[in-house]
Amino acid sequence: MEKRQLGHADLNIYPVVFGGNVFGWTIDEKHSFEILNGFAEAGFNAIDTADVYSRWAPGNIGGESETIIGKWLKEKKNRHDVVVLTKVGYDMGDGRKGLRKGYIIKAVEESLKRLQTDYIDLYQTHLDDESVPVAETLEAYDQLIKDGKVRFIGASQMSPERLQESLQTSRDGNLPIYQTLQPHYNLYARQGFEDAFEPICMKNNLGVITFYSLESGFLSGKYRKRSDIVKSPRGGKMENYFNDRGFKILDALDEVSKAYQTTPAAVSLAWLIHRESVTAPIVSATSLQQLDSIIRAPELDLGPDAIGLLNSASAW
């Protein structure tokens, strides 16, 4: 399995990133360790999380995912073998949110403490704060990089205009520049990224690491009818995909997965990996069986007919 570049030549990952939002939410610490062990043993090396994961769960305060990852890194003593991605910007409560320089400097210390590490490989703007000049945010990252606490920076939920402004400000001011974009992109959700962001990423050589790569599980094929919705805490919004286009995509995934003797989830991820603009999809798993689809996806060499069928079925 060859490594692919993630924006910068010195930031290498295998072509799937594990999504740590499930840690401390849908799976507990013990189960999280099992999944992380399986992921690492299969030769993968990148984990994405955020300070806010998983504040939305009853009883949580945020930071649960980073805490579990930090305990695992300490137990395995493998920090230098793992690429750690985390984020800042979402509301952590008590006024702790946004992209002011002072807040970012404090927030990174909390993330480092929870992760039990002295540096973060990729620190990402999770949610843009348009009340803050992009230069102020970039100056905060500049300090963190100079202090050795952050290696590289990336962006996530940001308008194309603010992303372009940030890139230009970095160049003009000799400030750190975003190496990656983390957009909502998958076989179902195509138009927003492909129309507005893909040209920017290709022009500026930004690595693209996609979130909701399986559209909250819809593209795994496990949601086929309304009675399936009750099976998962994420099932509530599945009815949004129960439309002609959604079922057409599932039919195409079924056809391709049968031809390649694999799963719809593996095919969905392989489609992303084969996209020229995509560096790596982010995907979560809550069982070793689900993890198997993640592991198999990078080795799935979809042919032109399969890609064409998936592209046609998912056209908007």
Q: Residue 230 is inside which H or E element, if any?
A: none
Give the count of domains, the chain: 1
CA distance 49 to 3: 21
Per-residue pLDDT tens over the stretch 267-308: 999 999 999 999 999 999 999 999 998 999 999 999 999 999
Q: Phi and psi dihedrals of 61, rounded to 5?
A: -120, 0
Q: Is the pTM higher than 0.85?
A: yes
DSSP assignment letter at 192: H
DSSP assignment letter at 241: G
| Res 229: pLDDT | 72
CA distance 138 to 133: 9
Share of the chain above pLDDT 70, in %: 95
* Residue ranges making up the domain that contains 231: 4-313
| Res 72: pLDDT | 98
Q: Summarize the confidence of residues 253-278 as an average pLDDT.
A: 97
Do the Cβ atoms of 274 and 280 come closer than 8 Å? no
87 vs 21, 91, 237, 278, 286, CA distance in Å?
12, 12, 25, 20, 22
| Res 1: pLDDT | 39
Helix (H, G, I), strand (E, B) or coil at 183: coil
Q: Summarize the confidence of residues 214-233 as an average pLDDT.
A: 80
CA distance 90 to 236: 23
Record the tokens describing residue 92, joined without a space: 């952590």
| Res 188: pLDDT | 98
pLDDT above 80: residue 131 = yes
Do the Cβ atoms of 149 and 118 come closer than 8 Å? yes
| Res 170: pLDDT | 98
| Res 145: pLDDT | 98
Do the Cβ atoms of 279 and 7 come closer than 8 Å? yes
Do the Cβ atoms of 21 and 161 come closer than 8 Å? no
pLDDT above 80: residue 126 = yes
Do the Cβ atoms of 183 and 211 come closer than 8 Å? yes
Give the number of other CB atoms < 10 A from CB of residue 156. Answer: 22
Q: Which residues of 269-304 are buried (b: 16+ CB within 10 A; e: fewer)?
A: bbbbbebebbbbbbbbbbeeebbbbbbbbbebebee
Q: Summarize the confidence of residues 18-31 as an average pLDDT.
A: 97
- Band the pLDDT of 232: cuts 50, 70, 90: low
pLDDT above 80: residue 10 = no
Strand-pairing partners, residue 19, are 48
- Going by C-alpha positions, the residue among 174, 169, 177 that lies closest to residue 204 is 177
pLDDT above 50: residue 4 = no
Question: For residue 211, how far is the Cα from the chain centroid?
Answer: 4
**CATH classification of the domain holding 56:** 3.20.20.100
| Res 235: pLDDT | 61
- Band the pLDDT of 179: cuts 50, 70, 90: very high
Mean pLDDT of the chain: 94
| Region of residue 52 (left: phi > 0; alpha: psi -120 to 50; beta: else) | alpha
Q: Summarize the confidence of residues 78-91 as an average pLDDT.
A: 97
Q: Summarize the confidence of residues 87-93 as an average pLDDT.
A: 97
| Region of residue 13 (left: phi > 0; alpha: psi -120 to 50; beta: else) | beta
| Res 12: pLDDT | 80
Angle CA 206–118–32, to nearest 5: 80
| Res 234: pLDDT | 58
The region of weakest confidence among 8-22, 112-126, 146-160, 232-246 is: 232-246
pLDDT above 90: residue 106 = yes
- Band the pLDDT of 233: cuts 50, 70, 90: low
| Res 2: pLDDT | 45
- Band the pLDDT of 3: cuts 50, 70, 90: very low
Share of the chain above pLDDT 90, in %: 88
| Res 5: pLDDT | 55
Name every residue whose Cβ is closer than 8 Å to that of residue 243 and which is 6 or more positions away in sequence: none
Record the tokens describing residue 21, joined without a space: 């939002």
